[in-house]
Structure 1
């Protein structure tokens, strides 16, 4: 079977083997691992991928870095290739595509208090389609790079080409050093955090300086690249942080206490996907996520987390 793209002669020589080779490389993030998955040699996959790019007249894979990544054209083509291969496999073996893992990305805290119910219920209802939860330190959790089929994101997302749905909102909490003066407070305001630096995850976090009025901005900021570094900096007394309530449950830390914030707006938790053909089980994933949220509403957050302290149910790392 061949599939064409564009006009004129472009795409006339493309066959299913070209698409399968591209998808294997895209899924595995490596030509070597893609070849192993297909049971062929690396040179064969490299030649097949190069032939596909020549036929399309675009570069699909960026090979200039250590970590192989898809180009923007490659990300867009991945969905089309998945749909084409899926249609072919559905025709010769109905139901086969549904066995491909459904990759769900997140940058921190996944689905908060609903994470375990989502994974367990999915496994019970759809054992033929594994649901893979992947943490990827990126604002869209790898979605725009084609590394996942859908993503759980927090805060407003205005990335072009994505379709989002708000699943629930969670209250925000302050994250402060366990041995600092703010840790003993029953609650805090945003203004209470501005005397010290505010630690911001500028790669995947949802907290920015826009959370504070211009006239009441923090004295300083400290930029980090992931949740682990965010927690480490706060525990070391280098600054305070703001996050959603799920962080306390999903990311407990002996050196960090989570304290409710009185005046911070709630943080939306979104399910995002690319606008276009995608994994056939995405509608079922969205329906299950909505069902679990509707049936398992968590209670209000309790006191902060730290040595000897009860945790706050729910949130996300900034």
Structure 2
């Protein structure tokens, strides 16, 4: 890294937002599209940030960008800084801003409506805002939400998780498939089919199957809507949890129990450190109460 042409004091919030978008997307072009700026502008902003910090934050040696150790450490600090800035602005807008709860798909499944209704009854002065954010941490790592409902393993540094419950897995098959009429399926029944994988926020990978009995092919999608569309069009089958069956019924898709697949844990996650919202602890307590865990 060359010696910086300006110091950290000259940095602006846009530098942090740009870096967090790149960290989430793993791609400068997609990050630029999210920020509604050009790819060269995003590259210049990242370079200016690295120059000011005198540290390499992003490893550009591969097609899919990865964060350096310095980048991973800075991501958590940048997310906290952006969230703190947004909280400061909220002071002038309302005494009690909405509590933002992120999810990448299916929220809390069948518990979603009870959770929202109970919150409204017990905290009428603090709106609970449910936000779908299509990334691995549902917007939590970049400060877009105060807490998030996350499924599967959560390995993002700087997050604290609490297990709420587990969900059984189900197969999702086209309504006219021979598999649709079965009362239950096993993973081996899907091995002869193409499987749709949500590589952005999904919990299903080929590791779910034994190495010698994996599906014949895969197609990748970025969100639940595209995943459902691919299955309904008979391009693939899928594996998901009962939450998807509860919240995303589809006329072209049938959900069939998949009892030999391991269940999926559902966590309530927040950023490490001081709560980003004064009602966050109340949300954690209510989420455990509604889902039945102490």
Give TM-score scaled by structure 1 length: 0.68
Alignment of 1:241-280 (within 5 A): 241-277=238-274, 278-280=276-278
Count of aligned residue pairs for this structure pair: 237
Aligned to 2:104: 107
Deviations 1:124-174 (A, max 9, x none): 111111100011111111111211111101111111111111100011000
> How far is 1:76 from its partner?
2.6
Give yes or no for contact 1:53–1:60 (8 Å, CA) kept in 2: no
Inter-partner Cα distance in structure 1 for 2:207 and 2:172: 18
CA contact (8 A) 1:107 1:138 kept: yes
2:168–2:259: 8 Å Cα contact kept in structure 1? no
Q: 2:17 aligns with which of 55, 58, 61?
A: 61
Tell me, yes or no, if the aligned pair for 1:168 and 1:270 is still in contact at 8 Å.
yes
Deviation at 1:66, TM superposition (A): 4.4
Which residue number corresponds to residue 76 of structure 1? 80
Runs of 5+ consecutive residues of structure 1 not aligned to the other structure: 1-51, 296-318
CA RMSD of aligned residues (A): 2.8
Alignment of 1:222-237 (within 5 A): 222-237=219-234
Which whole-Å deviations, capped at 9, do the CAs of 1:197-216 have from their partners, x for residues lacking one? 11101111111111111111
Which has more helix, going by share of residues?
2
Please state how far the C-alpha of 1:186 moved relative to its aligned partner: 0.8
2:13–2:82 Cα contact (<8 Å) kept: no
Please list every run of 5 or more consecutive structure 2 residues that lacks an aligned counterpart in the other structure: 1-7, 20-30, 37-44, 47-74
Q: Secondary structure at the match of 1:207?
A: coil
TM-score, scaled to structure 2: 0.74
1:157 aligned residue: 154
User: SS at 1:279's partner residue?
Assistant: coil
- Contact 2:101–2:146 (CA<8 Å) still a contact in 1? yes
